[in-house]
Amino acid sequence: MAAGATYEPIATTTLGSAQASVTFSSISSSYTDIILICRHATNVGGNTFLRFNGDSGSNYSVTFLRADGSTASSARGSNESQVTLESFGFPTPDFGAITTAHIMNYSNSTTFKTVLSRGSNANSGSGVSAVVNLWRDTAAINSITISSSASTFSTNSVFTIYGIKAA
């Protein structure tokens, strides 16, 4: 028997002006997974990063799979200071991007936290990517800070987190 609605919007931030970062804090531990959807652009183009619980230490790592319209490739980053959601240096000012990140089992205190994400940007030189990140901490995630390697996220960028609750 179905348990009822289980995909709930938790919070949305829409930027009224350019901003360097966005933080969702006091995230409830009552869900199973968190989904972050970013519809965003930056002032000069850059990768999108996440930090959990304010952790800026070298406790993150990433593996990329990406395609730029002619070539598929894979790359890795170890002992990083944040989660990296894409790898093309998008979204640029004129070409926004859509990134979806699944933060799996975010509130468990037994394992490290794995994030699956997909990014896309139709701008020339960009492409599509599938990415897996690891945060090497067993703490439950209660805050997510989104930032970019560019200076700022552009006005009207939208960031939404959803909670998915298993039966």
Partner 1 sequence: MLNIIAGSLSVGVTPSTSSYESIATITVGSGGAANIEFTSIPSTFEHLQIRLFVRPTSTSNGPVFMQCNSDTGSNYTRHSVRGDGSTAYASGSTSQTSMYFNGYNVYAGATDRPTVSIIDILDYKNTNKYKTVRTLAGLENNGSGEVGLYSGMWMNTNAITSIKLFDNVNYGEYTQAALYGIKGS
Closest CA to 158 of 114, 89, 98, 83: 98
Find the shortest distance in angstroms from Cβ 52 to partner 1. Answer: 14
Nearest distance, CB of residue 162 and partner 1, angstroms: 8
Interacting residue ranges for partner 1, rule: CB under 8 A: 1-9, 12, 14, 32-33, 37, 39, 61-67, 72-76, 78-79, 98, 100, 102, 104-105, 108, 110-112, 114, 116, 118, 130-134, 136, 138, 158, 160, 162, 164-167
Shortest Cβ distance from residue 145 to partner 1 (Å)? 20
Measure CA 81 to chain center.
Answer: 14
Buried b (16+ CB within 10 A) or exposed e, 89-111: bbbbeeebbebebbbebbbeeee
- In angstroms, the CA 102 to CA 64 distance is 15
Smaller CB distance to partner 1: residue 95 or 162?
162
In the complex with partner 1, which residue's Cβ is closer, 102 or 143?
102
